[in-house]
């Protein structure tokens, strides 16, 4: 394969990953806030959130694999796994490694949510708020054309969208949307002593 193809793929997949990840974060926040309409009930937001998250992992894998196998970079597989072990842009690339590992943990714990329980899953899901900024900084610091107009616009758009969603969440609070219904149903089927 032509080496420049690998290099372009790495950068392209990286940019796509950032857009997808930002969309996943925004959708996650919207679902927590019960944003819905008649034509778009909330459970569809959750479904899209999940599917885009899985798709993000696919593009991230593409991003990482093409970067590592690119013969020009000589990154090595260790750099993909151990943060700050890369000779090349050690700090910025390390942020990317951390972001990927956090996202992997978030997705894997979501897939086995039934086993680890709702509380543990929720706690781990908060890691998203660490993973996303790491991913953005990694893009800004490592990207060889981060300051080109189109990529800058893309990154700015992602940052503004996520910050707006976070700001909206801060303003409206973030109760578990199922909490009321769940506790009322549990109350109806709770037979613990004393009643």
Q: Which of residues 19-78 bind other proteins (CB under 8 A)?
A: 31, 36, 39, 41-44, 46-47
Nearer to other proteins, 51 or 90 (CB): 51
Which of the residues 137 through 176 are near other proteins (CB under 8 A)? none
Residue 184 within binding range of other proteins, rule CB under 8 A: yes
Q: Are 168 and 145 in contact (CB under 8 A)?
A: no
Kindly state the smallest distance separating residue 108's Cβ from other proteins, in Å. 16
Write the DSSP string, 100-130.
HHHHHHHHHHHHTHHHH-HHHHHHHHTTHHH
Taking the least distance from each CB to other proteins, the nearer of 8 and 185 is 185
Residue whose structure tokens are 């993973």: 131
Q: Contacts with other proteins: how many residues (CB under 8 A)?
A: 26
Q: Indicate the residue among 149 and 188 with the shorter CB distance to other proteins.
A: 188
Stretch touching other proteins by CB under 8 A, among 15-23, 99-107, 130-138, 182-190: 182-190
Tell me how far, at minimum, the Cβ of 180 lies from other proteins, in Å. 8
Binding residues for other proteins restricted to 99-138, rule: CB under 8 A:
113-115, 118
Q: Which is nearer to other proteins, 41 or 167 (CB)?
A: 41
Q: Which is nearer to other proteins, 88 or 185 (CB)?
A: 185
Based on CB atoms, which residue is closest to other proteins, 130 or 181? 181
CA-CA distance, 49 to 171, in Å (whole number)?
22
- Work out how close the CB of 138 gets to other proteins at its nearest, in angstroms, rounded to a whole number: 31
Largest CA distance in the chain: 72
CA distances 80 to 33, 46, 132, 151, Å, are 35, 30, 17, 23
d(CA 18, CA 4): 21
Across 8-39, b (16+ Cβ under 10 Å) vs e yields: ebbbebbbbbbbbbbbbbbbbbbbbbebeeee
Alpha-carbon distance 188 to 64, whole Å? 50
Binding site for other proteins (CB under 8 A): 31, 36, 39, 41-44, 46-47, 113-115, 118, 177-178, 181-182, 184-186, 188-193
């Amino acid at each position: 394969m032509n080496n420049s193809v690998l290099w372009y793929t790495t950068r392209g997949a990286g940019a796509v990953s950032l857009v997808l990840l930002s969309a996943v974060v925004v959708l996650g926040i919207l679902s927590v806030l019960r944003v819905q309409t008649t034509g778009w009930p909330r459970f569809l937001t959750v479904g899209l959130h999940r599917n885009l998250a899985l798709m993000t992992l696919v593009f991230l894998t593409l991003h990482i694999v093409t970067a590592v196998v690119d013969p020009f970079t000589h990154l090595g597989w260790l750099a993909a796994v151990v943060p700050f072990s890369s000779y090349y842009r050690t700090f910025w690339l390390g942020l990317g490694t951390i972001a990927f590992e956090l996202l992997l943990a978030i997705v894997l714990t979501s897939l086995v949510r039934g086993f680890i329980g709702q509380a543990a899953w929720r706690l781990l899901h908060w890691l998203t708020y660490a993973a996303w900024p790491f991913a953005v900084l990694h893009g800004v610091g490592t990207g060889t054309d981060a300051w080109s107009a189109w990529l800058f616009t893309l990154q700015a758009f992602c940052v503004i969208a996520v910050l707006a969603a976070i700001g909206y969440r801060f303003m409206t609070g973030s109760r578990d949307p199922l909490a009321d219904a769940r506790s009322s149903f549990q109350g109806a089927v709770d037979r613990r002593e004393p009643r």
